[in-house]
């Protein structure tokens, strides 16, 4: 009888140790996940949001930074009869073949669209380089890929530095010139085929 009691006590102790160890591992995982999640809850200025705003789902504190907001206002003023959208995924702009699916990860910072009874169609895209971003080969390659894909679809892509954004007149001129150049390039390519 005492042997069975001893075995039961040992089994209970082993189970208790295993449960305690699992609880410790779960606690450590939760702490790691909370640290990772807290790091993702920084706003664009790098400061943490208050604890009461933390949860699995929340609104972004800033959708556009100051430079993006200024460019959006300038685009709206430059093209009052056009629709201007921000952060539009390429999968919404382009019809992608299965072998071009990697382009779906790209976004256009701004998309200028013409409106008609038939709907809204893209006219030009704009990329805004962040002021703190250093020019590097990966960023340039991504821009080149974006530019090629959009050009193939007949949509010019313009690039501006956030530190020196264009004024309303420059935007009108640049976009008009880009659309004309894109149209000429398309006509030239059509004559070659």
pLDDT tens track for 81-140: 999 999 999 999 999 888 888 888 899 999 999 998 999 999 999 999 876 666 677 888
pLDDT digits (tens, 9 = 90+) for 159-182: 998 888 899 999 999 999 998 988
Strands 83-89 and 107-116 come out as antiparallel
Reduced to 3 states (helix: H, G, I; strand: E, B; else coil), residue 148 is helix
pTM for this one? 0.67
From 126, 156, 127, 149, select the one nearest 139 (Cα to Cα): 127
Structure tokens that stand for 61 in this block? 């504190």
- The predicted-structure confidence for 21-48, as pLDDT tens digits, reads as follows 888 888 888 777 776 666 655 544 555 5
C-alpha span between 193 and 178 (Å, rounded): 23
**Nearest CA-CA partner of 114 in 79, 90, 87:** 79
Eight-class DSSP state of 42: B
Task: Give dist(CA 158, CA 171) in Å, integer.
Answer: 10
In three-state secondary structure terms, 47 is coil
The residue extents of the domains of the chain are 2-53, 66-192
CB 160, CB 127: distance < 8 Å: yes
- Supply the Cα-derived Rg of the chain in whole angstroms: 27
Question: Which of helix, strand or coil describes residue 185?
Answer: helix
Q: What gap in Å lies between CA 176 and CA 193, rounded to an integer?
A: 26
């Amino acid at each position: 009888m005492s042997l069975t009691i001893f075995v039961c006590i040992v089994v209970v102790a082993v189970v208790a140790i295993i449960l305690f160890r699992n609880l410790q591992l779960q606690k450590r995982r939760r702490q790691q996940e909370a640290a990772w999640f807290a790091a993702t809850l920084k706003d664009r200025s790098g400061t943490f949001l208050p604890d009461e705003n933390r949860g699995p789902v929340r609104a972004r504190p800033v959708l556009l930074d100051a430079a993006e907001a200024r460019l959006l206002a300038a685009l709206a003023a430059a093209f009052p009869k056009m629709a201007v959208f921000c952060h539009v995924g390429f999968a919404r702009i382009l019809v992608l073949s299965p072998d071009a699916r990697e382009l779906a990860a790209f976004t256009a910072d701004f998309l200028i669209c013409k409106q008609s009874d038939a709907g809204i169609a893209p006219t030009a895209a704009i990329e805004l380089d962040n002021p703190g971003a250093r020019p590097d080969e990966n960023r340039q390659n991504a821009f080149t890929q974006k530019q090629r894909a959009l050009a193939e679809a007949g949509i010019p892509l313009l690039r501006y530095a956030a530190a020196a954004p264009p004024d309303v007149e420059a935007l009108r001129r640049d976009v008009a010139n880009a659309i004309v150049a894109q149209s000429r390039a398309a006509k030239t390519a059509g004559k070659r085929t």
